[in-house]
Amino acid sequence: MKLHSLRGKKLPTYLFLALCFNLVIAPVVYAASSNELSRSQAWAISLLGLGTAGLAAYLFFVMFAPEKF
Amino acid sequence: MQGNSTIQSSRQPQGPRENRKHISKAKMSGLYQRAVKEALVKLDPRIAVKNPVMFVVWLGTIVTFLVTLDPNLFGTVQADVNQQRLLNGIITLILFFTVVFANFAEAVAEGRGKAQADSLRSTRSDTIARKVLPDGSIHEVSSTALRRGDQVKVMAGDVIPADGEVIQGIASVDESAITGESAPVLKQPGTDIMSSVTGGTRIISDSLLLRITQDPGQGFIDRMISLVEGASRTKTPNEIALTVLLAVLTLVFLIVVATLTPIANYIAAFLETTLGATAANTFRSGVSVAILISLLVALIPTTIGGLLSAIGIAGMDRVAQFNVIATSGRAVEACGDVNTLVLDKTGTITLGNRLADQFIPVNGHSLQEMAQVCLAASVFDETPEGRSIVALANKLGVSIDLNNRSADGIEFSARTRMSGTDLDGREYRKGAVDSVKGFVRSRGGAAPPQLDAAYERVSRLGGTPLAVCEGGEIYGVIYLKDIVKPGLRERFDQLRRMGVKTIMLTGDNRITASVIAEEAGVDDYIAEATPEDKIDVIRREQSEGKLVAMTGDGTNDAPALAQANVGLAMNSGTQAAKEAANMVDLDSDPTKLIDLVTIGKQLLITRGALTTFSIANDIAKYFAIIPTIFAAAGIGALNIMGLKSAESAIVSALIYNALIIPVLIPLALKGVQFRPLTADQLLRRNIFIYGLGGIVAPFIAIKAIDLILPLS
């Protein structure tokens, strides 16, 4: 797929950025869990946390621009 | 407003409203199969994101699906992995169906509108039009090639190619394609009402020369299609307010559920260092992500979130079923909030077919002399009133010969409030008594004292007195009899109880207006009203913070229709009136405005009732889920329903949560039964039924599901 065909697609871009950002969050979660979680579980939990934060941001957006929904 | 109503609608509604044909002859077969497919299509995230509450459920479904595949994805589970996987799978399935049911509700409502649109679209097929070129020759073109201002000739059997106005000819037109009424309508040039034709209707006799008034794609049927199909549907202010409320509630519960486990574990860690491991374990949360998502879904108002758009679409559909086209959902909702109805007397409050009942001669003239003048003044008057005057004069043995005589008809105008005939240099006039008095004075005559007595006598009977004169000589008063529509007094009483004020506008004198107002039971009236009075009264009411509804059909009504919060134009009215209004009544029945208030209120009540029910449901769900999943924290006693286990409680609550959506679809589409009560009474009634019912029903249903489920 060429780069210009990805430009109009926001969702894959946001998912890719979230995965990249998770590279920062996941080690923090892993370190804080005192070996109770595996690395993959820490990765999944931090991704879930990011998703929840994104969902909260989306709901804030709905509150401020309800006519778009 | 057609002034003192010398112009009448060319078609009056036929018989009782419930017996009339409506445009809902759309094919509804296969509606549910299409809705099921559409419900699955709406799972596309780009569509799902438009409904915030259900989007949260949809995302929750994806996460529970992931933990079904790998129960240890977000942490090692304490319970048996296969058992956990089964529970997660059941939760995923229920959440998925919750989203599908909500989509289905919306798809059913949309499907009904689309079926109507398809039915209308079939009338809009491309036709061949006979375009009249500037040199007078006729050239056949496609109807899509016609532009505003073009002239076309249509003949018996032709489909009228586009919206237009008649500039030549008289013909019968079958408008059943848009109105459902099979009775043909007479179309002719020169009048506001009867010269307007609609594209897609069929001419069934003679021929007409038309001037096209709309470019392709902007005609009346095109606009109707886009409205009933929901293409131009925008959120109403109430829907926007409710969307914000639902987003706030969802966000609050999302934050609560997301922070529940971290806070519990934080407190547990603190207690472990201070009070020991036993105290800490009561707080430590072992709740899985799937259960937290179940809790979130149970807490957020999914019922109203799933049904909100269906309620709005169904409201538009109910208006369309009533043969009224609304330009927006906002207009339908505004009907429910209306405080003041401004109604014309003639045709709205009275039957409108005012007929000459009696000639009352004055000034020493005989009945025959007066009848002769009445006949001369009405010979060119084609309105029902004018024809009834001619008929009454003929009945009295009077006739007129216009051969070899110079005769000109003088049309009625709202300014002069007179009409008549100039015959061989003599001026015959009839009209409002004050106007005729002024005319007589301007011709050097004077009004006799008996005129006022006759005028008062007719007015006190609730009739319309028309003075008749020849030059400066008054001959008498014509008694035009009109009848108040049966059942209107009860309707106005209902409206009063609902807090809606009714104002009657009439061109009639004060005495007639007061008699009719008293008989009909309106709250206020404005006599001798001009078209400007209508807009003045609307502005005055609006300045007091009220929402005003009115009906109109003439070009001079257009400013008032645009000014009113709800403007209902008659389909038989002019293009200007239809464009200024936010609703068009295809039956051209002005009394329908009262029914629209009822439909608007029903829409608002339905939305309010289901919102109350949805939020009240949450209470039972708290009692079902929270005591069972946090039993370790010592709140197990709150499991007042005695549910078998945490798993059974969660699944029962989620099943109820999913099933209540399809159960309430018929109510959302049909609307809550409307009762003409005051706002306070309605509030009390709805809080009792939907508030209390919303608390009790899920307790019973969740307990019943819990008993049926094989989960232990």
Highest mean pLDDT among A16-20, B183-187, B697-701: B697-701
B304 vs B577, which has greater pLDDT?
Answer: B304
- Using the beta-carbon criterion (under 8 Å), do B52 and A51 form an inter-chain contact? no
Cα–Cα nearest to B103, from B318, B307, B315: B307
Choice among B96-105, B250-259, B520-529 with the minimum mean pLDDT: B520-529
**Residue-wise pLDDT tens digits, B338-360:** 889 888 887 778 876 778 889 99
Question: How many CB atoms are closer than 10 A to CB B465?
Answer: 25
Q: Specify the pLDDT at position B457.
A: 87
Tell me the chain A residues in contact with residue B75 when contact means C-beta distances shorter than 8 Å: 36-37, 41, 45
In contact, B52 and A62? CB cutoff 8 Å: yes
- Testing the interface with A: which of B53, B73, B284 to mutate, by most A Cβ within 10 A? B73
The strands making up B151-155's β-sheet, listed across from edge to edge, are B138-142, B128-132, B151-155, B207-212, B164-168, B196-197
- Sheet containing B501-505: give its strands across: B324-326, B583-585, B566-570, B548-552, B340-344, B501-505, B524-526
The segment(s) of chain B belonging to CATH 3.40.1110.10 are: 355-481
Distances (CA, A) of B547 to B99, B324, B565: 37, 20, 6
Name the β-bridge partners of B566: B549
* Average pLDDT for B258-273: 82
In this structure, of B59-63, B97-101, B194-198, B227-231, the range with the lowest mean pLDDT score is B227-231
Rounded Cα gap, residues B109 and B665, in angstroms:
9
Find the range with the poorest average confidence among B455-459, B506-510, B611-615, B691-695: B506-510
How confident is the model at residue B282, as a pLDDT? 64
Instruction: Calculate mean pLDDT across residues B484-489.
Output: 81
B303 compared with B481, residue with greater pLDDT: B303
Q: Locate tokens 């001369």: which residue?
A: B376
For the record, the structure tokens of B14 come out as 């036929």
Q: How far apart are CA B117 and CA B294, in angstroms?
A: 40
- pLDDT, tens digit, for every residue of B12-41? 444 444 444 444 455 667 888 889 999 999
Mean pLDDT of B52-77: 90
Q: Which chain A residues are within 8 Å of B262, Cβ to Cβ?
A: none
Assess B296–A contact: CB distance below 8 Å, yes or no.
Answer: no
Q: Where are the alpha helices (DSSP H) in B426-520?
A: 433-442, 449-460, 488-497, 510-520
User: What are the backbone dihedrals phi and psi of residue B637, each rounded to the nearest 5 degrees, phi first?
Assistant: -65, -20
Provide the whole-model pTM. Answer: 0.71
* Catalytic residue (one of B150, B344, B482, B508): B344
A51 contacts B74? CB cut-off 8 A: no
Helix or strand holding residue B425 (H, E): none
Mean pLDDT on B431-437: 90
Instruction: Using CB atoms within 10 Å of the CB of residue B19, give its burial: 0 to 12 exposed, 13 to 18 middle, 19+ buried.
Output: exposed
In the prediction, which pLDDT does B6 show? 35
Name the pairing type of β-strands B355-361 and B473-481: antiparallel
| CA B615 – CA B703 distance, rounded (Å) | 19
- Tell me what pLDDT residue A6 has: 53
Q: Do B235 and A44 touch (CB under 8 A)?
A: no
Query: What's the confidence (pLDDT) of residue B243?
Result: 92
Question: H-helix or E-strand containing B246?
Answer: helix B237-274
Band (pLDDT 50/70/90 cuts) for residue B464 is confident
Q: What's the Cα-to-Cα distance from B111 to each of A11, B37, B302, B343, B507, rounded to whole Å?
A: 29, 11, 22, 35, 46
Q: Does A35 touch chain B (CB under 8 A)?
A: no
C-alpha closest to that of B66 among B85, B94, B41, B81: B85
Residue B461 to residue B454: CA distance in whole angstroms: 11
Looking only at the bridges linking them, the beta strands covering B207-212 and B164-168 are: antiparallel
Q: How far is CA B370 from the centre of its chain?
A: 48
Q: Using an 8 Å CB-CB cutoff, list chain B residues near A12.
A: none
pLDDT higher than threshold 60 for residue A1: no
Q: Which helix (H) or strand (E) holds B628?
A: helix B592-629
Q: What is the pLDDT of residue B169?
A: 84
What pLDDT shows up at residue B337?
85
- Binned at pLDDT 50, 70 and 90, residue B393 comes out as very high
Q: Give the mean model confidence (pLDDT) for residues B118-142.
A: 78
| Interatomic CA distance for residues B447 and B451, integer angstroms | 7
Residues of B in contact with A66 (CB under 8 A): 235, 240-241, 243-244, 247
Token representation of residue B201: 């209707």
Residue with the larger pLDDT of the pair B656 and B677:
B656
Of B72, B235, B255, the CB nearest to A56: B255
pLDDT above 70 as % of chain B: 88
For the cut 80, the answer to whether the pLDDT of residue B310 exceeds it is yes
Q: In angstroms, how far is the first alpha carbon of chain B from the final one?
A: 72
Q: What is the mean pLDDT of residues B80-101?
A: 91
- Beta-sheet pairing, B426-432 with B418-423: antiparallel
Three-state DSSP at B210 gives strand
Tokens representing B573 are 């009215």
B258 in contact with chain A, both atoms CB, cutoff 8 A: yes
Residue A51 to residue B59, Cβ atoms within 8 A: yes
Q: What's the mean per-residue pLDDT of chain B?
A: 82
Report the chain A residue with the minimal C-alpha distance to residue B67: A44
Cα distance between residue B561 and residue B598, in whole Å: 20
Q: How far is A57 from chain B (nearest CA, A)?
A: 9
- The top-scoring range by mean pLDDT among B50-64, B79-93, B155-169 is B50-64
Q: Contact B195/B188 with Cβ under 8 angstroms?
A: yes
pLDDT of residue B10: 37
> B564 by DSSP, 3-state: which?
coil
The yes-or-no verdict on residue B470 having pLDDT over 70 is yes
Model pLDDT, residue B400: 85
B100 confidence band (pLDDT: 50, 70, 90):
very high
Q: What is the pLDDT of residue B228?
A: 64
Architecture of domain B124-216: Distorted Sandwich (2.70)
Q: Does A17 touch chain B (CB under 8 A)?
A: no
Domain B324-351+486-598 - what CATH class?
alpha beta
Cβ B565 vs Cβ B338: under 8 Å = yes
Look at residue B181 in the predicted model and tell me its pLDDT: 58
Q: Looking at the complex, report in whole angstroms how far the Cα of residue B192 sits from the nearest Cα belonging to chain A.
A: 39
Distance from CA of B669 to the nearest CA of A (A): 21
Ranges of beta strands (E only) in A1-69 are: none
- Dihedral Cα B546, B549, B554, B560, nearest 10 deg: 20
With beta carbons less than 8 A apart as the criterion, state whether B173 and B216 touch: no
Q: Is the pLDDT of residue B639 over 70?
A: yes
Highest mean pLDDT among B13-17, B297-301, B460-464, B679-683: B297-301
A37, A44, A63 member nearest B248 (Cβ): A63
Is residue B80 among the annotated active site residues?
no
Q: What is residue B375's predicted lDDT score, i.e. its pLDDT?
A: 92
Is B240 touching A (CB cutoff 8 A)? yes
8 Å CB contact of B247 and A66:
yes
Element (H, E) at B134: none
Top pLDDT among B149 and B351 is at B149
Cα separation values, B687 from B304, B684, B703, Å: 16, 5, 23
Please give the Cα distance from B363 to B411 (Å, whole number). 26
What was the pLDDT predicted at B710?
Answer: 80
Give the residue carrying structure tokens 């249509």: B154
Listed range (B581-590, B630-639, B652-661) with the worst mean pLDDT: B630-639
Q: Which two tokens stand for residue B212?
A: 């096209």
Q: Cα(B549)–Cα(A15) distance, rounded to whole angstroms?
A: 51
pLDDT digits (tens, 9 = 90+) for B547-574: 899 887 777 778 888 888 888 888 777 7
Which residues of chain B form CATH 2.70.150.10?
124-216
Inter-CA distances, B167 with B153, B184, B199, B214, Å: 10, 19, 16, 15
Residues B541-579, buried b or exposed e (16+ Cβ, 10 A)? bbeeebbbbbbbbbebbbbbbbbbbbbbbbbbbbbbbbb
- Please, are residues B462 and B494 in contact by the beta-carbon 8 Å criterion? no
Please report, as a single letter, which amino acid is at residue B144: T
For the segment B388-398, the average pLDDT, to the nearest whole number, is: 90
What topology does CATH give the domain B355-481?
Calcium-transporting ATPase, cytoplasmic domain N (3.40.1110)
Task: Tell me: pLDDT of B193 over 60.
Answer: no
Q: What is the pLDDT of residue B211?
A: 87
Between vectors from CA B450 to CA B446 and to CA B456, what angle results, nearest 5°? 115
